Structure 1
Amino acid sequence: MAFDVRLTELADVKIIEPAVFGDARGFFFESFNAREFSMHIAHGVEFVQDNHSRSSYGVLRGMHYQIQHPQGKLVRVIHGEVFDVAVDMRLSSETFGKWAGVRLSAENHRQLWIPPGFAHGFVVLSSTAEFAYKTTDYWFPEHERSLLWSDQEVDIAWPIDAEPVLAPKDAAGKQLYEAECFA
């Protein structure tokens, strides 16, 4: 296996730490292997879309989820650093409304697996960050929902000391008690 798997506070959300091979020329690591992913992370997952975004310091994207056509996401940072967060939106889960967060950076090469049923977002901690991720379903804007990033009931400990830069849809996110959730 070319990576280690670390559990988070949310049993289904996993940190993937790849084996990185480096020398004076640079580095190499395997960022995805379908067989290994199926055996050690999540069986039967098929990715259908790859996305790439670039954001500036203090930009917060999220907390997004699709109420229909829920997406699993395998996320990583290829330039810069972010604090990445998943929130359990499954009413039947013992961890409903709880969150897990991890720093992802180009330097640490970590990835985060966020299965369907979770809201997802991140805030940029470096001057800029490029964020790449795979999804298990396509984007359907009519089914996209946003959990309010600052919901006091969820109480995410964002490692920022100023108001983040938000898209209008993220600023208008719903609080957990009024959000559409999964069964």
Structure 2
Amino acid sequence: MNDFSELEAELKKLRPRPTSPDLAARIEVSLAQEAAGRGTATAGVLPKQRRFRLNWIALGLGLAAAATFLVLARMNVDRPSKSTGLALLTPAPITPAAKEVADTLVPSAMTQVVYDRKDEGLHFAEGTDEPVRRLRSKKRETMQWNNPKTGASLRVSYPTEEVTLVPVSGQ
């Protein structure tokens, strides 16, 4: 224990060294320059350097939205068209140029706009043991007739609903 008490006594005798006059002069000059506004701040917060950082959440959400769009677009593209082959194979009638145009209405256009399509799931049709998928489509059909002689036209538009039964193959 004697060693510690001697060490403690020596430590108590130690005193800090006096400052040099040169240090005091440099501090005074530095303070005077800062007061005049010509000096630079030595203890300030430096601005952060801007670096490019990739926002992973925004990138992930964007890719998810793009994938969803592509999946939905693919589903709409894969549907078969419901056009009948008869109209595609039958050529348009050729009218002779010498024939005079009749004063009657001639069909000129027909459009079908599907505005709702539902998949009603699997059903068992009457009299069958195998299931069928029932698809319900709501459309607006517009038919137009023109009179070539007078230029008059008639347009009729009406709603329709179509139910299609698609057979489901069992495995």
Larger RCO (CA under 8 A, 6+ residues apart): 1
Q: Same fold by TM-score, threshold 0.5 exceeded?
A: no
**Greater share of strand:** 1
TM-score (normalizing by structure 2): 0.21
TM-score (normalizing by structure 1): 0.20
**Greater share of helix:** 2
